[in-house]
Structure 1
């Protein structure tokens, strides 16, 4: 029996984080991985699609490129879309929505192209197309090449399935994982967040350390595609048992409600026994027992939370406490404001590229061990 032909798989990443995601993909055995604007591309098959959704922490979505053809006008697009082998990938009984983008092509009207593709799907294939469908088919028409992709993830991959409670301006889990990676975190050291909010950084670090997979507790859109093998998927989900972990992961916040949220989120994620959350201000921070590790912090920026002028004192106090209490620990600090970062007085390394987060551009500032 012949092996299925590989096709292009695209991993979406926040702009500025493509290289970090490519590194993760290569370490996970995917590739060769090519860095592209907005993500990472590699050739693979449907088992790779499923495993990427299940295992990769930094990917926002996994798209499968299911086919392409040339089209120079709408009539040609209509004809070739009707001949496309939709049944090889889609199920006629699963509704979908269609999204089209046009760039540098003779077909330049995305609305008209959407009508032709929708007509081909409904009339030639018999599937229902509606705007609120969970399954998403994307058509990119660029330089007169029509490329079809299926969003195999469904809900964005940062929705791990455990975070029911969130604080103000929460950090997405995928972005947190990439920031941890860029700080050199590999799961072999403790992580402490003195302004933890709903606990994203300590929980993500604990999951990395124990080896649990981020997609273990959720559903994916590929389960509604043609040829989905439920038995093979169940076997892939089984995998290896979580590693026992002697380390602990810490989160502190002066908001008691945030601490309760973080504690509950950690319990739902299955890492409650190795995480510790407490209500306390920055000034009360002391170094925990055990080996040094990574302080990872996403403080208020002033643009969305807090008054910027008042935050300079907070950042200065943060830097003073970290220098005094956390000797031997590295620091990773995420902020949209370089002035605030520098007001900590911490010996930061050259800053990384700005990345989008909640409508802002934020930057990761890192130190060597203090």
Structure 2
């Protein structure tokens, strides 16, 4: 097998956790940048990264790279790339382009030029061309333009990797699964330690924690784009998949707790856990964070409290935040509480001093993960 170059993307702020995942998958020559990690490896490394990484969003295979000064340079690079070696004319394609400091004016025009080049290469080699499908393509081609260099990738993931293959019900502003998994790891939570999400929404933290505790590979129940490439090795993939499934533990009740003031949210979380086969692992109830008791003497509380567009106005937040801080002090002494928020006023308004602030991005939204250590005995009364 030959060594290939790949790029795995992730939510910004989780690059080091992604690098840890890639090292575990056998990757080499890791280079972290904002929003992802470049790495090298043979194809089994790519398969394992897609199967096992809880943090990656996509794994892209680098197929070409060259300097450019014009749209014609990009077209020629794409035309010289041997696409017919990797997929068939009858398969559909989609081209996406991202750029950073590119002097070229229109990304739409560049996207069209790359698509034309791919189709022209197929016509030259086989006399026919693939069709475009922007919704559910067989093959996604990704181009990245820096100030002076164009890199072409083939996506090996397909649907984004945070889509584990079972969540259907959502409520407003759900966290992506890979961001939730990253927050759980940043919180220091380990399976066996009591975990509570008291504003659980559709249950993303609960689903990720249960999978982690049961040793479930996040990609073991979905398909990947690399399975549609001509060089796909089904026996190798099947072996990896069987080993992953053999390592899973039986579903039993664990110290993972969830609640929400909204009955709609609780029903959504129940449906998602049931669909994933994880319902027996999690204890879920309707309840108001300001009134519930801690389910254990100590543990980790993680949550995505309301902020910004998720509430009607600032006055509502100004009333809620001090009550939240008071509830944490009164009822969660001995717990470590981790709250993600885009609202930088949160620590001041909950009247608690964070022991740690970690910058993270929820999509394009810049957030902070605030850690509050509720010291036992000091805040009661």
Task: Find the aligned partners of 1:104 and 1:175 in 2 and give their Cα distance.
Answer: 27
Task: Find the aligned partners of 1:62 and 1:264 in 2 and give their Cα distance.
Answer: 29
- Counterpart of 1:334 in 2: which secondary structure? strand
Task: Find the aligned partners of 1:118 and 1:302 in 2 and give their Cα distance.
Answer: 39
My pick for the range that moved more, 48-57 or 317-326, is 317-326
* Mapped contact 1:210–1:242 kept (Cα < 8 A): yes
Cα separation, partners in 2 of 1:129 and 1:286, compared to 1, 3 Å: same
Task: Find the aligned partners of 2:177 and 2:73 in 1 and give their Cα distance.
Answer: 43
My pick for the range that moved more, 9-18 or 81-90, is 81-90
| Corresponding residue to 1:285 among 275, 279, 292 | 292
TM-score, structure 2 normalization = 0.86
How is 1:246-261 mapped onto 2 (pairs within 5 angstroms)?
247-261=254-268
How is 1:170-181 mapped onto 2 (pairs within 5 angstroms)?
170-181=174-185
| Corresponding residue to 1:301 among 303, 307, 325 | 307
Cα separation, partners in 2 of 1:280 and 1:106, compared to 1, 3 Å: closer
Deviations 1:189-243 (A, max 9, x none): 1210111111111221111111101112222222211111223222211223323
My pick for the range that moved more, 191-200 or 227-236, is 227-236
Cα separation, partners in 2 of 1:254 and 1:233, compared to 1, 3 Å: same
| Corresponding residue to 2:11 among 11, 14, 18 | 14
Residue aligning to 1:165: 169
Deviations 1:72-108 (A, max 9, x none): 5555554554332223323322110123456667876
* Number of matched pairs: 365
Confirm or deny that 1:54 pairs with 2:56: no
Residue aligning to 2:378: none
| Corresponding residue to 1:361 among 355, 359, 366 | 366
Any gaps of 5 or more consecutive residues in structure 1? none
Deviations 1:103-128 (A, max 9, x none): 66787654554444333322332442
Task: Find the aligned partners of 1:127 and 1:336 in 2 and give their Cα distance.
Answer: 46
My pick for the range that moved more, 254-263 or 186-195, is 186-195
- Counterpart of 2:308 in 1: which secondary structure? coil
Task: Find the aligned partners of 2:221 and 2:176 in 1 and give their Cα distance.
Answer: 17
Residue aligning to 2:193: 189
Cα separation, partners in 2 of 1:336 and 1:124, compared to 1, 3 Å: closer
Task: Find the aligned partners of 1:80 and 1:320 in 2 and give their Cα distance.
Answer: 60
Task: Find the aligned partners of 2:268 and 2:108 in 1 and give their Cα distance.
Answer: 43
* Mapped contact 1:292–1:328 kept (Cα < 8 A): yes
Q: How much has 1:138 moved relative to structure 2?
A: 1.6
Task: Find the aligned partners of 2:9 and 2:58 in 1 and give their Cα distance.
Answer: 5
Cα separation, partners in 2 of 1:97 and 1:188, compared to 1, 3 Å: same
Confirm or deny that 1:272 pairs with 2:279: yes
* Mapped contact 1:66–1:89 kept (Cα < 8 A): no
TM-score, structure 1 normalization = 0.89
Deviations 1:147-182 (A, max 9, x none): 210121121122111111011111111111111111
My pick for the range that moved more, 54-63 or 301-310, is 301-310
Confirm or deny that 1:242 pairs with 2:248: yes
Residue aligning to 2:21: 24
Task: Find the aligned partners of 2:362 and 2:100 in 1 and give their Cα distance.
Answer: 26
Confirm or deny that 1:217 pairs with 2:221: yes
Cα separation, partners in 2 of 1:163 and 1:344, compared to 1, 3 Å: same
